[in-house]
Amino acid sequence: MTSQKVEFAGSTQAKLAGVLELPEHRRAQAYAVFAHCFTCGKNSLAAVRISRALAERGIATLRFDFTGLGDSEGELGNAGFAANVADLVAAVHWLDATHGQPTLLVGHSLGGTAALLAAHQLTKVKAVCTIGAPSTANHVLQHLMVNRPVGDTTLTATIGGRTFPIWPSFIEELRRADEGGVSAGPGQAQLVLHSSQDAVVAPEEGWRLFDAADPRTRSFVNLEGADHLLSQAADAAYAADLIAAWGARYLFDSAARKDDAPVDLRDGEVWIGEHDHVFWRAMRAGAHHLDADEPLGVGGGARGPTPYDLLLMALGACTSMTLRRYALRKGYALSDVQVRLEHERIHAQDCAECGDREGKVERITRVLQVHGPLSQEQRADLVRIADRCPVHRTLENQPLIVTRLAHDD
């Protein structure tokens, strides 16, 4: 995961500061924007942990400070809630112009409400996730500890022990915010994450968001035990796992989920489709979905194992299964078995096992790690049995590969 500091113009043309969390050593599979909670900022625990966790799962995520907060220019009190929504729209447009089209919005607390409202202006967004969000912006007023006026123009709000100036215009915008149960836009999936122990935004608010969402694409998960700020690392990681797993269905253009994916695969038959027109491939075996790709260095996106990786995995998995079944049958005290494999092309003259071959040869090196109170004879026996793995035998037998065109429909 790589973090990049960025700046872009917000809704009021104030310069907004952000951090773009990118997957490391591979291309992003999707892009997201994270809207932080009221007065929290881009460096809040939830914003940092969730954005980085999503990046580790292939979703590049921009977290930024709203106008007047953190490292962003402007004044919080003057900005207003509408400016927060517009800042979020500006962030999406900037990310689209510089890196890739965001298809996921994640909003924490009031940032979740802003994300839902912004989604109606962002038709390319496919999914919106809210975390501890109120069902209406007006709900926030119930939790603002508004103190006596400072001068003639501002109020102050105390949140989490910190005091912030709040202009009356900001409060008026909150009161004018949608009272009818805000939800994502048409065709946009919505995930509501809310803790039943949330002491800031009542759990009922999450259920109201869920009730207002499209029944066909809505989901609700209780973040049991989490506080409103997701201050525990485990809670933030759990939320990120949920978002990434849920979002994959909507964010990643998977050929295996398109209409051309076959539904009549026989046992032992696999199917390969295209994610893109480069190297990224969708694979299906029964109910199991996998991806294959090539490394970044050769023009791929590193979004899955290479074909040779998959070949080695097949041989390694088969080897491990064969050794385990044999050890059980023989009563060997094999506590654990691991297999490491490597494929390489070498000159025959450099290969002690290649006999009288000439030129370049392909060699697969397989290293067995067997653990347990095993005798030397038992260890040698397991090495011998590894060659009886069915995939090993198939490779050695040089199977006949028949290729034909499918009948056109």
Q: Is residue 52 part of a domain?
A: yes
Residue 256 C-alpha from the chain's centroid: 18
Do 224 and 357 share a domain, yes or no?
A: no
Residues 227 and 310 in one domain: no
The DSSP call for residue 321 is H
344: in domain? yes
Q: Could you report the per-residue pLDDT of 286-299, keeping only the tens digit for each?
A: 878 888 998 878 88
Assess contact for 181 and 211: CB atoms under 8 A.
yes
In a domain, 387, yes or no: yes
Task: Please tell me whether residues 207 and 121 are part of one structural domain.
Answer: yes
pLDDT digits over 222-259, tens only?
999 999 989 898 998 899 889 988 987 888 654 334 43
Does the pLDDT at position 175 exceed 70?
A: no
In a domain, 299, yes or no: no
CATH code of 37's domain: 3.40.50.1820
Q: What is the mean pLDDT of the segment spanning 379-398?
A: 96
Q: Is residue 179 assigned to a domain? A: yes
**pLDDT of 138-174, one tens digit each?**
566 565 545 444 444 556 655 545 566 665 666 665 5
**Do residues 370 and 405 make contact, with C-beta atoms less than 8 angstroms apart?**
no
User: Could you tell me if 364 and 237 lie in one domain?
Assistant: no
340 and 225 share one domain: no
Of 213, 230, 251, the residue at which a domain comes to its end is 251
Angle at 285 between CA 283 and CA 291, to 5 degrees: 25
Is 191 among the domain residues? yes
Residues 105, 179: one domain? yes
The answer on 314 and 179 residing in a single domain is: no
Residue 103 and residue 194 in one domain? yes
Residue 332 shares a structural domain with residue 239? no
* 174 falls within a domain: yes
Q: What is the mean pLDDT of residues 343-352?
A: 77
Q: To the nearest whole number, what is the mean pLDDT of the chain?
A: 84
Give pLDDT, residue 260: 52
Q: With bands split at pLDDT 50, 70 and 90, how would you rate the model's confidence at 80?
A: low
Number of structural domains found in the chain: 2
> Are residues 34 and 141 part of one domain?
yes
pLDDT at 2: 86
Element (H, E) at 130: strand 127-131
* Sign, CA torsion 158/160/166/171: negative
- What residues form DSSP beta bridges with 364? 343
pLDDT, tens only, 4-45? 999 999 988 889 999 999 987 667 888 999 999 876 889 988
Q: Alpha-carbon distance 56 to 280, whole Å?
A: 18
Answering whether pTM is above 0.85, one says no
- Show Cβ contacts of residue 163 under 8 Å, excluding neighbours closer than 6 positions: 147, 156, 157
Shared-domain flag, residues 119 and 232: yes
Domain of residue 367 covers 305-396
φ and ψ of 307, to 5 deg: -55, -40
Residues 147 and 240 in one domain: yes
> CATH number, domain at 373?
3.30.300.20
119, 185 contact by CB (below 8 A): yes
Is 136 domain-assigned?
yes
Please report which confidence band the pLDDT of residue 132 belongs to, taking 50, 70 and 90 as the band edges. Answer: very high
- Examine the fold and report which residue of 232, 251, 270 is the final residue of a domain before the chain moves on: 251
Model pLDDT, residue 298: 85
List, in order, residues 6 or more apart from 269 with CB less than 8 Å away.
Answer: none
Among the candidates 233, 251, 269, a domain finishes at 251
